[in-house]
């Protein structure tokens, strides 16, 4: 037996498999990190959010002439569309928001954007009032690892088993005529009919059932203030907004006795920087819970339709959703939103009771 020829044949087969895998993952592009346009291969990307801390670092490194970045949690990640921002402003943007991220990761991503995007002029920061009462989470090790190993990152999204599975799922769902779940190429989550929406709301309310309990007396905003000063000194505009949640979450916070803390947080924030406030009962946050909701997937994540309203208000001063909050109007708006929440409670006693039940008993 000619072992040399056999070994060469094996090497050629392995090389062929490796090349095919890399080309397949490159053109399907399930994580949207390469510059291909949307095609029949990837018109739906249900696996887009896998390895998100890796893929967003890669996207940031590979992007060109980015002028604006969005940072925050999955709330901003799901709802703020880069393409819509470009449509209304004529400027390019990258959505660098990350699921279950902390303030330190947000600041880290901003600094990476400054490093790789010299034309960066604007940073839009989604701020969660929870962060200002709980600054314990500070781990950025995962992002730091990905930022220092670009070659390994590219190998991971081209040749890993996870990339193959993501590409296969992307290709299969893109070719299915009636499949409508997943994400648009820029990361915007697609709205879909959800028969299990009641359970999704209950689950997310259960996650928030202790929000506001045992908070500090005052919010801690010194790190945010320091970040704003640092970025302003570098010629970068910082825009801050508080993301909307479904009003059932506001009711949870109020039943926990923490609505005072919400108002204190907004007042303290207004002292250091004006901000856009969408965290109050509104026609969007008050949307009835049903399988065909347009504005919310569950209690803590809104759809791109609300995201567009947020971007309209911030960058066009358009629409009647959201307020620019300053030191001179924060008390008036706090009183107004407290009254609006009371009005919602009077109209929705069943939801008030649901919140109470979940707070007391969880999902039993």
pLDDT of residue 252: 96
Residue 2 reports pLDDT greater than 70: no
Strands 296-298 and 68-71: unpaired
| Integer angstrom CA distances of residue 355 from 49, 137, 233, 250 | 30, 27, 45, 10
According to the model, what pLDDT value does residue 144 have? 76
Give tens-digit pLDDT for 207-229: 999 888 877 667 888 889 999 99
Q: What is the pLDDT of residue 176?
A: 87
Q: What is the Cα–Cα distance from 273 to 151, expressed in whole angstroms?
A: 40
Lowest mean pLDDT among 202-216, 297-311, 332-346: 202-216
CA–CA gap between residue 143 and residue 57 (Å, rounded) = 8
Crossing angle, helix 330-347 and helix 247-255, to 10 degrees? 100
| Pairwise CA distance, residues 75 & 99, whole Å | 8
Reported as a single tens digit per residue, the pLDDT across 171-183 is 998 888 777 778 8
Nearest CA to 105 out of 131, 79, 85 is that of: 131
Which alpha helices (H) appear in the chain, and where do they start and end?
3-28, 52-62, 74-79, 82-89, 103-116, 141-147, 150-159, 161-175, 197-207, 222-233, 247-255, 259-272, 304-316, 330-347, 349-361
Average confidence (pLDDT) over 3-26 = 83
CB atoms within 10 A of CB 150: 13
C-alpha dihedral, 132 to 137 to 143 to 144, nearest 10°: 110
Q: What is the mean pLDDT of the chain?
A: 90
Say how many residues make up the chain: 364
DSSP 94: E
pLDDT at 75: 94
Say whether pLDDT at 135 is over 60. no
Q: Which two tokens stand for residue 216?
A: 């500090």
């Amino acid at each position: 037996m000619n072992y040399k020829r056999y070994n060469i044949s094996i090497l050629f087969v392995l090389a062929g498999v490796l090349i095919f895998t890399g080309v397949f993952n490159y053109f399907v592009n399930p994580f949207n990190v390469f510059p291909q346009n949307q095609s029949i291969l990837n018109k739906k990307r249900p696996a887009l959010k896998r390895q998100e801390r890796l893929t967003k670092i890669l996207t940031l490194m590979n992007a060109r002439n980015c002028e604006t970045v969005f940072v925050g949690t999955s709330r901003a990640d799901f709802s703020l569309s880069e393409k819509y921002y470009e449509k209304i402003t004529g400027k390019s943007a990258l959505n660098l928001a990350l699921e279950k991220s902390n303030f330190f990761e947000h600041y880290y991503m901003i600094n990476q954007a400054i490093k790789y995007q010299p034309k960066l002029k604007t940073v839009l920061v989604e701020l969660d009032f929870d962060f200002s009462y709980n600054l314990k989470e500070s781990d950025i090790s995962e992002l730091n690892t990905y930022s220092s190993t670009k070659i390994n990152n590219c190998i991971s999204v081209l040749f890993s088993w996870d990339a193959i599975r993501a590409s296969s799922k992307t290709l299969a769902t893109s070719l299915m005529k009636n499949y409508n779940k997943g994400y648009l190429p820029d990361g915007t989550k697609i709205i879909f009919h959800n028969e299990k929406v009641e359970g999704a709301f209950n689950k997310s309310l259960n996650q928030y059932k202790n929000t506001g309990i045992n908070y500090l007396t005052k919010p801690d905003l010194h790190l945010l203030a320091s970040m704003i000063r640092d970025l302003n000194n570098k010629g970068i505009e910082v825009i801050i907004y508080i993301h909307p949640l479904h009003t059932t979450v506001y009711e949870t916070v109020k039943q926990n006795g923490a609505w005072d803390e919400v108002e204190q947080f907004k007042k303290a924030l207004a002292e250091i920087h004006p901000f856009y406030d969408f965290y109050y009962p509104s026609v969007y946050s008050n949307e009835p819970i049903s399988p065909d909701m347009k504005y919310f997937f569950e209690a803590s994540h809104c759809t791109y339709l609300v995201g567009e309203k947020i971007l309209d208000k911030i960058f066009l001063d358009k629409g009647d959703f959201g307020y620019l909050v300053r030191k001179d109007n924060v008390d008036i708006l706090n009183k107004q939103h407290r009254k609006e929440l009371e009005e919602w409670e009077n109209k929705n006693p069943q939801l008030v009771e649901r919140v109470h039940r979940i707070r007391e008993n969880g999902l039993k």
